[in-house]
Amino acid sequence: MSTPTLSVEDLRTHFFTRKGVVKAVDGVSLSLDRGEVLGLVGESGSGKSITGFSILGLIDPPGRIVSGRIRLAGEDLAAASESRWRTLRGKHIAMIFQDPMMTLNPVLRVDTQMIEALRAHESISSAAARDRAREALASVGIAAPEERLLAYPHQLSGGMRQRVAIAIAFLNKPALIIADEPTTALDVTIQSQILAQMQALCRDSGTALIWITHDLAVVAGFADRICVMYAGRIVEQGSVDAILDRPAHPYTRGLLESVPSRNRPGAPLRQITGMAPSLLALPRGCAFRARCALAQPACNDEPALTQIGAGHLVRCFFPEQAPRGRAT
């Protein structure tokens, strides 16, 4: 078996606030092969974004990676120096953020922000860097790239800005891109265009992709595998088909059933009752049990991640096995 592009083992990222320790990520393991697309799904506050930032080594105090191992193509990143991190970021791992309005620096022109990303990693003349930047803009479907290079971010639409951010992420042909809800803030039509474009770019360059989202429907169409996170932990992971057709964790089922479906017109929408628990004071045992219809006294103990099918793991004592109608 070849070395995976990324492997994360038992990652724990905690925030040491005045009110106590927030265990934002608490024992996450995942792995990606070259060119693979992983959907990381969960509601806000489930720790999915923090997982992404941890992989980039961009956790600021009071947060800290407490334990766990992150390997990029076999290299242990825990041992990486700050200068090694700098070479890795942008060159081998890139990130795309949720809100394109905030990602680009408002007072710097697009060309400045693209050229600096290239020149941080290779010695290349500004003219050559500029050519590469122009090509990158064209490759994400931006018309008149030469003109756009001279623009300031506020002169571009949200979709256009996100395309610029994507172009920057792909500039150095990284092995891995972490996309943190990159289409959530965009119109639906632009969403699907950008989705298709990223898929094509990943296929062409063999870039592995972690797509962080709260919306199962978005990743259903193009991820290879899906991890569902809840309260800092992965509660279920498996192939797209396994998760969508045979969701085993009550939380995953809840997520799927809260999506309106054409296959079940008129069926009442189920919702997950209650709110996500505060990460400050997580109760012992299964974090979901307070909202779970199937909770039993046994749930006061922490369930382990158990295999229930090929590559299909679930963290629940009472996984449901019955297949369900696909939502999309």
Partner 1 sequence: MLVFILRRLAQSIVVLAAMSVLVFVGVYAIGNPIDILINPQADQADIERATKALGLDRPLWEQYWRFLTQALAGDLGRSFAFNVPAIQLIMERMPATMELAVAALLIAIVFGIPLGLWAGLRPQSWIGKSIMAGSILGFSLPTFWVGLMLIMVFSVMLGWLPSSGRGPTSELLGVQVSFTSLTGLAHLAMPALNLALLKLSLVIRLTRAGTREAMLQDYVKFARAKGLSNTRVVGVHVLKNILIPIVTVLGLEFGSLIAFSIVTEAVFAWPGMGKLLIDSINVLDRPVIVAYLLIIVTIFIVINLLVDLAYSALDPRVRLATKA
Token code pair at residue 253: 């089922």
> Do residues 225 and 240 make contact, with C-beta atoms less than 8 angstroms apart?
yes
Nearest approach, Cβ of residue 13 and partner 1 (Å): 15
Tell me the site size for partner 1, rule CB under 8 A. Answer: 32
Q: Whole-angstrom Cα distance, residue 254 to residue 276? A: 13
81 binds partner 1 (CB under 8 A): no
Residue 233, beta-bridge partner list: 230
Q: How far is CA 28 from CA 35, 53, 55, 191, 232, in A?
A: 21, 13, 11, 28, 8
Nearest approach, Cβ of residue 110 and partner 1 (Å): 11
Choose between 129 and 244: whose C-beta lies nearer to partner 1.
129
Closest CA to 182 of 137, 138, 219, 212: 212
1 binds partner 1 (CB under 8 A): no
Token code pair at residue 187: 């119109």
168 binds partner 1 (CB under 8 A): yes
97 binds partner 1 (CB under 8 A): yes
Convert residues 36-75 into a mask of x (bound to partner 1 by CB under 8 A) and - (unbound): -----------------x--x-x--x--------------
86 binds partner 1 (CB under 8 A): yes
Nearest approach, Cβ of residue 125 and partner 1 (Å): 18
Q: At what angle do helices 110-119 and 158-170 cross, to 10 degrees?
A: 20
Choose between 53 and 317: whose C-beta lies nearer to partner 1.
53
Q: Where are the alpha helices (DSSP H) in 206-327?
A: 216-220, 240-245, 250-257
Choose between 62 and 274: whose C-beta lies nearer to partner 1.
62
296 binds partner 1 (CB under 8 A): no
3-state SS, residue 81: coil
Choose between 97 and 251: whose C-beta lies nearer to partner 1.
97
Choose between 40 and 228: whose C-beta lies nearer to partner 1.
40
Cα 19 to the chain's mean position, in Å?
28
Cis amide leading into 62 (omega within 30): yes
Binding site residues, partner 1, CB under 8 A: 53, 56, 58, 61, 86-91, 94-95, 97, 99, 102-109, 113, 116-117, 120-121, 152, 154-155, 165, 168
